[in-house]
Amino acid sequence: VALRGGVCSDEVSLPVEFSKSTLCAVELAEQPTPRYAYEGAKVLVDGLVGNRNYRTGRWLGFHGADCVATIDLGSEQSVSRLAFNVCVNKDDGCLDARGVNVEVSTDGEHWTTAFEQAIAPMTEEQDHGVYAHAYEFAPAEGRWVRVSVQSERCIPSWHAYAAGGAGFL
């Protein structure tokens, strides 16, 4: 709440989703499009969940590039689950992911693939919204986790922007 002149504001709260990566150090291989960079990589691990509006600062935007994030868990841990969300707004060319890859490392230099999954391309019938992705895989040990979320490199032919351009992730 905020107090001003003896007047109390409405209570404001936001839910926080915790995981092993919450508030860990994170680095991006490529920076997001400047217009959609907001607070940078830390948005990916702050525990706050974005809504259907990709302009709120709760999302990062990558145009024609994958989101490759390396998370330092601080100590070697077992990793066996990945969850992430994608904000889809087809009218503005914001499309769902096309694949995901998880790698782990105990030294930050040598990487082992722990999980890979292709994601089907979007169809014209699919709606706008927050698309939740969650995957379970065999436990892998590592201090660093590199998550690569592949973007739609070429907007589908059914889309109004289908002149060969890339979509936003």
Tokens describing residue 164: 């060969």
Report the pLDDT value the prediction gives residue 155, as an integer from 0 to 100: 86
Report the pLDDT value the prediction gives residue 166, as an integer from 0 to 100: 87
Report the pLDDT value the prediction gives residue 88, as an integer from 0 to 100: 96
Q: What is the pLDDT of residues 89-107, one digit of tens each?
A: 998 999 999 999 999 999 9
- 59 with 43: CB under 8 angstroms? yes
Which portions of the chain are predicted below pLDDT 50?
none
Q: What is the pLDDT of residues 145-163, one digit of tens each?
A: 999 999 988 888 888 877 6
Report the pLDDT value the prediction gives residue 162, as an integer from 0 to 100: 72
Tokens describing residue 148: 């690569």
Q: Which long-range contacts (CB under 8 A, 24 or more apart) does 20-24 make?
A: 20/73, 20/77, 20/79, 21/45, 21/71, 21/73, 21/145, 22/46, 22/47, 23/47, 24/71, 24/72, 24/73, 24/74
pTM above 0.75, yes or no: yes
Q: How far apart are CA 93 and CA 54, in angstroms?
A: 11
List, in sequence order, every beta strand (DSSP E) within 51-128: 67-88, 99-105, 112-118
Q: How far apart are CA 157 and CA 118, in angstroms?
A: 20
Residue 11: other Cβ atoms inside 10 A: 7
Amino acid residing at 56: T
> Which residue from 62, 69, 150 is spatially nearest to 103, judged by alpha carbons?
69
Helix (H, G, I), strand (E, B) or coil at 14: coil
